[in-house]
Amino acid sequence: MEQPAILVEDVSMMFHMNNEKIDNLKEYVIRVLKRKMQYTEFWALRNVSFAVQPGERLGVLGFNGAGKSTLLKIIAGVMKPTKGKVEIRGVVAPLLELGAGFDMNYSGRENIFLYGATMGFSRSYVRQRYDEIIAFSELKDFIDAPVKNYSSGMRARLGFSIATAVEPEVLIVDEVLSVGDAKFKAKSEAKIKGMFDQGVTVLFVSHNTAQVRSLCNKAILLEKGGILAQGEVNQVCDIYDGMVKRK
């Protein structure tokens, strides 16, 4: 059998939730050093396991707080799980929180190389794709301005253009298929669907079951950090739609 493109084995993620309100950094440091901080353990994910074969498109469903974004960040390598392991085979393009890694005081030009580096692109690779990134973002006239002067839409456009300047084998998409104004939304959506048509493996999070049904062939449903259902996309979407109606 072919090796899975994405393998998630018994993944759990625990966060410490501070029980006390601390108003300043000095008090926080003192309490940490004296080990007087009180925390509550919060498990965002518990024992999550699944595999995605090359070319499959897996939809990830669940209400807010179910653990969807945490799962995607772990798979994308942004966070390390408390327990379990994740294996990814192939070049990954994670479309998560576009532009979140920008340095607001740097120019768009400088952030292309910075953001590219955080995604694992070499400087020479970014240099090869540099003109393509600027052209797709349509930000040529603003590329030397500090990113702090960009609108949120402009930052998302630049982040999207950098993240998709690669021929991925695995595409990770959180919530939205498009960014920016109406013209750029159509352009970015066409770019992602073009990647889909090339047979990439897709992990797609959305609350929109119509979108999941049309784009994915399999799905998992998360509830309170665990997998409630997984399998054929329409069956899992039916379960989720039923839960939405009962809410």
104 φ, ψ (degrees, to nearest 5): -60, -25
Q: CATH top-level class for 1-91+168-247?
A: alpha beta
Maximum Cα–Cα distance for the chain, whole Å? Answer: 57
Provide the 3-class DSSP secondary structure of residue 9: strand
The domain ranges of the chain are 1-91+168-247, 98-166
Output the pTM of the full model: 0.78
- Per-residue pLDDT 10s for the chain (247 aa) are 679 999 999 999 999 766 566 666 666 565 655 566 566 788 999 999 999 999 999 999 999 999 998 999 899 888 999 999 999 998 888 887 777 679 999 999 999 999 888 777 889 999 999 999 999 999 999 999 999 999 988 998 998 899 888 888 998 988 766 667 778 888 887 888 888 888 899 999 988 898 899 889 999 999 999 999 999 999 999 999 999 988 7
Nearest to 160 by CA among 205, 104, 194, 115: 115
**Tokens standing for residue 136:** 């797709």
